[in-house]
Chain A
Amino acid sequence: MVLLLCLHLSSNQLHANNTSTTSNYVSKQQITQLTKKYNSRAGKRLSLWNKMMIKASKLDELQQLKAVNNYFNRIKYLRDKKHWGKNDYWSTIFEFIGSGAGDCEDFATAKYFSLKLLGIADEKLELSYVKLTTRQKKYDANHMVLSYFTSPDAVPILLDNVNLRLKLATERPDITPVFSFNASGLLKSKHKGNPSKTMQYNLAAWQKLMQRN
């Protein structure tokens, strides 16, 4: 019963694009609901995300990376303690867009999910734990970025919310890699026991849900 409720809620949150029939990744009703839950700016953000996704769906992979990276990097950075009152909270893409703020994991996971929706293979994406050396005190030294691999043995391109541009990892001397995980596997482990959140990162379930809407 709880799972069904979560499915219903998530179906009301975002509406993915079925390329064969619809061009929108979210419906007007869902934008309205997000607006109602958060505020009008949240609704606008969601609407912009939808537009960005529609546009990016026609681009090549590198340009898709740029579009997604640029969109999310405009959202405000705020640590979990201040934003959610918790030490470590991984928000969903809905919560991230709706609340208009998040920390490095939120940026990385939102970008990951958006790129997956655009069709980028899961094997090309990794969530990387890194050490960030920067003078900006607002960022944690424990940082996370989304890594994109053109090929399995290639140097990844980093999608980061600190350095807003797409860069090869070797061109980021301020970032030292610690460990990388397959993104979907990490998210499953992280949200184990929380089916609504797990479901959101399960692309197959998401697409099915969208088809019903």
Chain B
Amino acid sequence: MSLSKKLQIFQLFIFMFIFAVNFFISVYNSKDYLQTESYNKAQDTATALSLSLSPLLNNPEDAEIASIITAIADKGFFKEISLHRINKTITAEQLLMHADNQLLTQGEWLLTEVTLDKKYGQLSTNIEQSKIASLLNELNDEQNIQAVDQDISWLRFTPNSQFVDGQSVQINFTAKQKNTQQKEITTTALINVDRSLFTALRNDRFEQTPPWFVRLFPIKSDAAKVMINQGWEKVAVVSVSTNPGQAYHRLYQHASQAAQYSLMALLFSMFVLTIFLNRTLKPLQHIRTLTEDIAKGHFNIISTVPKTYELKQLTLAINEMSIKLAKFFDKLNDDINIVNQKINLDALTQLPLKPSFELAFKNSIDSAGFGYVFIVKIINLASINQQNSPSFVDNMICDFAKLLDNCCSTNNQTNHNSSAQVSAYRFFGGEFVLLFDKANYQQAQQFSEVLSKELISLTQQLQLTELSQIGAAPFTTDTDFTTVLNSASEAFEFAKQVGPNEAIIHQQPEQARDKQQWQTLVEQCVQHGDFSIDYINPGQAINISAGDDNNIMREAFTRINTQDGQHVAMATFISIVEELKYNVDFDQQVTNKIISDIKQKNLCHNLLINLSVASINDLAFIDWLETVLTENNTIAPQLYFSISAYSAAKQIPVLKRFIDKIHSLGSRIIIKRYETALLPLSELQSLQIDAIRFAKEYTNDIATEAPKQQLIKNMLEFSQLMDISLYTEEVVDPEDATMLAKLAQHKTSGLTS
């Protein structure tokens, strides 16, 4: 879940909590307020009613009492309005009439000693009242003290709060016969007490309020009571209790509004937060993109630094890391280039060495497929060496190399409109080879004449009788490396017969077989699959990437034999295949055969499959490969599709597309005959290469050549950082193998600016 979503969910919980608390507090406060207001309204109504009813209570049966109460109740605000007496006054006569003893109903009797069970309430008589008056007289020091009543003329029963109207109370009393006062009867009387005068009831109405809301927020409707006086006497109580229906309606409206506003506030705040988060966290996306770019080898920086402190610090840190990584790789690349130069250039003459010539020759065959090879040797070098000092010999060789280089440069500049380019190489000692790529016979002839003149001039300068000869031979796609050199050597030997500094140029290339024969052979192999595949040791692994859990690799080496059992040079065969445009078909045949072998022979190791540039450029081939790898998805991770560094350098965008497709299918890519001059490190990073195999020139004699050791170390650092496997071609010399094993222990030294 993204950070933005987490924050939004968190905010939602917080808001819901705050809303719930606020909502309930608000509703409960409103409920309390409404409850209080209802009670106050009831109290005010009771007070007003008491004032209105007070003058009417002389006649409790007065219809006006009922009318007033009914009118107020009909307003709908009240649940119950009741009027009832506070007490019941019973005269002596009434008490005697209700006495159990029927004797008391006749004659005149005086009451003494009236009592009542206190569970009903209190009983008072006129005697207590007169006592108070008498006491007050005494208190005020009045002369005329009011006499205290002796006889009970009335008694007043005041029920307690638990008394239920309508029930009868038992009053115990003693009566004495009046006048004579001889007879005394103690008896009881049962008096029915019903204080209720009028009650108006109105049912609770909660029509507009849902029942669940009523249950959730119960509103008490306490009765407000006001005493009604007549004069100074408290005679009745009016009780008013409100109908909570209206209060519920108002509370429900308030709660609904509060909920609506809260929901709107929630939605609005979520909206604002979303916008705010998107803006604030957008830099995180940039940072993520940058880290992905860095992983792919693009050391960009984020130019717009966010203002939020933490994001700002993170952005600056990422930028700094990217800059440092870029510097590190640049330095690594520079170091590798420097070492590379040291390896590939002759220390004395600064001319490229034989491995470079071989590579250039192969590339020439791959691209155009024709040109001339010149062999120019210093003759009698051994005797010159004996007769002169080592410094003289070195200087002579340098001057010779310089002459060759100048002639090449001059020719290239003069013929800059032409695609034919000539370059010089030092093989060993006084033997130099020139590669005139895309040159025809006339161009070669002209060049040799210029070269010859220059050599004559140098010979005179060195005060020698003769210095060298020139032998040249043409080559085409049919020609292999050894054949053309042999042919050029042959021409050189002829030149020796001709004279000093003379040149002999063969006109026709040597071919082991003619074009028609090659075509037949190629068609036979492609259409019928008439070839075999050997799984050979590809070389030595000096770094295995973390993603490769199977560190045993074999190279699928195609072997073609003619009917008469002759071995066919694969380099030439592949050149013919490309010329005849059978690359895609041939690569399909090879891939099918390899997959079939994996299944049948149960091959477990990783396999290196060579592909041509034409195949990786062919959409039909890629579609076909996708089908095959999808059908064989368990085998796909074992396959490393191999492309030469030279081919890769020519078709970077095509290669990138191919690599992405291969990765999506679970297979991997290896670059063979790798040279930093062809594919710089930055390209390797962007292409997301899985493995590299060095040309053998990088590892031959590595045990004694420090520059090669340094190159391997630098490449190891790079490969460990970029998680790329490193291989070498087969190492023959055990000392070289030992050195490589030792170098393989080297770990990344860390970034230094």
> Is the pair B234, A152 in contact by a Cβ cutoff of 8 Å?
yes
* B227 partner residues in chain A, CB cutoff 8 A: 180
Q: Which of B51, B156, B232 contacts A169 (CB 8 A)?
A: B232
* A168 partner residues in chain B, CB cutoff 8 A: 132-133, 136
Known: A152-B158, A170-B232, A177-B232. A157 touches B136 (CB 8 A): yes
Q: Is A37 an interface position by the 8 A CB rule?
A: no
Q: DSSP majority for the B interface?
A: mixed
* A153 partner residues in chain B, CB cutoff 8 A: 86-87, 124, 156, 158, 233-234
Q: Is A20 an interface position by the 8 A CB rule?
A: no
Give CA–CA (A44, B234) in the complex, Å. Answer: 41
Q: Is B128 an interface position by the 8 A CB rule?
A: yes
* A179 partner residues in chain B, CB cutoff 8 A: 50-51, 229
Interface centre among B124, B132, B232 (most CB of A within 10 A): B232
> Is the pair B139, A154 in contact by a Cβ cutoff of 8 Å?
no
Q: Is B565 an interface position by the 8 A CB rule?
A: no
Give CA–CA (A57, B139) in the complex, Å. Answer: 17
Q: Is B129 an interface position by the 8 A CB rule?
A: yes
Give CA–CA (A179, B124) in the complex, Å. Answer: 24
Q: Is B363 an interface position by the 8 A CB rule?
A: no
Q: CB within 8 Å of B: which of A170-209?
A: 170-171, 177, 179-180
Q: Is A87 an interface position by the 8 A CB rule?
A: no
Give CA–CA (A170, B146) in the complex, Å. Answer: 14
In the complex formed, the residue of A with least CB distance to B89 is A153
In the complex formed, the residue of A with least CB distance to B47 is A179
Q: Is A63 an interface position by the 8 A CB rule?
A: yes
Interface centre among B124, B132, B140, B158 (most CB of A within 10 A): B132
Q: DSSP majority for the A interface?
A: mixed
Give CA–CA (A148, B100) in the complex, Å. Answer: 38
> Is the pair B139, A155 in contact by a Cβ cutoff of 8 Å?
no
Q: CB within 8 Å of B: which of A143-159?
A: 147, 150-157
Q: Which of B86, B87, B129, B158 contacts A155 (CB 8 A)?
A: B129
Give CA–CA (A122, B158) in the complex, Å. Answer: 19
* A166 partner residues in chain B, CB cutoff 8 A: 136, 139-140
Give CA–CA (A171, B232) in the complex, Å. Answer: 11
In the complex formed, the residue of A with least CB distance to B135 is A62
* A147 partner residues in chain B, CB cutoff 8 A: 232
Q: Is B627 an interface position by the 8 A CB rule?
A: no
In the complex formed, the residue of B with least CB distance to A167 is B136
In the complex formed, the residue of B with least CB distance to A182 is B227
Q: Is A165 an interface position by the 8 A CB rule?
A: yes
In the complex formed, the residue of A with least CB distance to B231 is A177
Give CA–CA (A66, B142) in the complex, Å. Answer: 14
Q: Is B122 an interface position by the 8 A CB rule?
A: yes
* A170 partner residues in chain B, CB cutoff 8 A: 231-232
Q: CB within 8 Å of A: which of B114-159?
A: 122, 124, 128-129, 132-133, 135-136, 139-140, 156, 158
Question: Shortest beta-carbon distance, B396 to chain A, in Å?
Answer: 110
> Is the pair B139, A66 in contact by a Cβ cutoff of 8 Å?
yes
* B231 partner residues in chain A, CB cutoff 8 A: 169-170, 177
> Is the pair B124, A151 in contact by a Cβ cutoff of 8 Å?
yes
> Is the pair A62, B51 in contact by a Cβ cutoff of 8 Å?
no
Give CA–CA (A166, B133) in the complex, Å. Answer: 10
Q: Which of B87, B136, B158, B234 contacts A62 (CB 8 A)?
A: B136
Interface centre among B86, B135, B136 (most CB of A within 10 A): B136
Question: Shortest beta-carbon distance, A101 to chain B, in Å?
Answer: 25
Question: Shortest beta-carbon distance, A202 to chain B, in Å?
Answer: 20
Give CA–CA (A169, B232) in the complex, Å. Answer: 7
Give CA–CA (A66, B140) in the complex, Å. Answer: 8
Give CA–CA (A152, B158) in the complex, Å. Answer: 8
Question: Shortest beta-carbon distance, A4 to chain B, in Å?
Answer: 26
Return the CB mask of B83-103 against A: 1 if under 8 Å, else 0: 000110000000000000000
Question: Shortest beta-carbon distance, B713 to chain A, in Å?
Answer: 79
* B50 partner residues in chain A, CB cutoff 8 A: 179
Interface pairs (14), CB distance under 8 Å: A62-B136, A63-B139, A66-B139, A147-B232, A151-B124, A151-B158, A152-B86, A153-B124, A153-B233, A154-B124, A155-B233, A166-B136, A166-B140, A177-B229
Residues of A at the B interface (CB closer than 8 Å) are 62-63, 66, 147, 150-157, 165-171, 177, 179-180
Task: List the 10 shortest-distance A-B pairs measured between CB atoms, nearest first.
Answer: A169-B232, A165-B140, A153-B87, A155-B232, A66-B139, A153-B158, A153-B156, A166-B136, A177-B232, A168-B133
Given contacts A154-B132, A169-B232, 12 further A-B contacts (CB under 8 A): A62-B136, A150-B128, A151-B128, A154-B129, A155-B233, A157-B132, A165-B140, A166-B136, A168-B132, A171-B133, A177-B229, A180-B229
